Amino acid sequence: MTRPFAITIAALCAASAGFAVWARNMATPDFGEAHLDRPARALAVPSGTEVAVFAGGCFWGTEEAFRDLPGVIATQTGYTGGTLPNPTYQTSHQKSSGYVEATTIIYDPKKVPYETLLDKFFNTHDPTAPRPGSPDSIGRAYRSFVFAQSAAQAKTARSVIASLNKTERFAFPIATQVRPASRFYPAEERHQLYYAKRDEAAKCLP
Whether residue 26 is found in the same domain as residue 116: no
On whether residue 148 sits in a domain, the answer given is yes
Q: Which segment of 2-6, 83-87, 165-169 scores lowest on mean pLDDT? A: 2-6
User: Which pairing describes strands 144-148 and 177-180: parallel, antiparallel, or unpaired?
Assistant: parallel
Residues of the domain holding 10:
3-30
Which pLDDT value is given to residue 41? Answer: 94
Which pLDDT value is given to residue 72? Answer: 98
- Say yes or no to pLDDT of 175 above 80: yes
Contacts 24+ apart (CB under 8 A), 90-95: 92/141, 92/185, 93/139, 93/140, 93/141, 95/140
Whether residue 16 is found in the same domain as residue 70: no
Q: Which residues contact 89 (CB under 8 A, 6 or more apart)?
A: 187, 188, 191
The C-alpha atoms of residue 4 and residue 111 are separated, in whole angstroms, by 74
Q: Is the dihedral of CA 27, 33, 39, 40 positive or negative?
A: positive
- What's phi and psi for 115, nearest 5 deg? -60, -35
User: Which pairing describes strands 72-80 and 100-107: parallel, antiparallel, or unpaired?
Assistant: antiparallel
Whether residue 109 is found in the same domain as residue 163: yes
What residue type is 150 in one-letter code? S
Which pLDDT value is given to residue 36? Answer: 84
- Say yes or no to pLDDT of 174 above 70: yes
Whether residue 80 is found in the same domain as residue 17: no
Whether residue 11 is found in the same domain as residue 78: no
Q: Which residues contact 177 (CB under 8 A, 6 or more apart)?
A: 143, 144, 145, 146
Contact 50, 76 (CB under 8 A): no
Q: Which residues are catalytic?
A: 58
SS (H, E, C) 80-147: ECCCCCCCCHHHHCCCCCCCEEEEEEEECCCCCCHHHHHHHHHHCCCCCCCCCCCCCCCCHHHCEEEE
Could you report the per-residue pLDDT of 118-171, keeping only the tens digit for each? Answer: 999 999 999 998 877 665 556 889 999 999 999 999 999 999 999 999 998 899
pLDDT band of 2, cuts 50, 70, 90:
low
On whether residue 160 sits in a domain, the answer given is yes
Pick from 95, 113, 142, 4: nearest CA to 50: 113
Could you report the per-residue pLDDT of 91-117, keeping only the tens digit for each? Answer: 999 988 999 999 999 999 999 999 999
Whether residue 11 is found in the same domain as residue 111: no
Contact 38, 187 (CB under 8 A): no
Whether residue 96 is found in the same domain as residue 124: yes
Whether residue 102 is found in the same domain as residue 194: yes
- Say yes or no to pLDDT of 84 above 80: yes
On whether residue 204 sits in a domain, the answer given is no
Whether residue 183 is found in the same domain as residue 163: yes
Whether residue 148 is found in the same domain as residue 167: yes
pTM summary value? 0.81
Which pLDDT value is given to residue 205? Answer: 76
Does residue 184 or residue 203 have the better pLDDT?
Answer: 184
Could you report the per-residue pLDDT of 13-40, keeping only the tens digit for each? Answer: 444 444 343 334 434 444 567 778 899 9
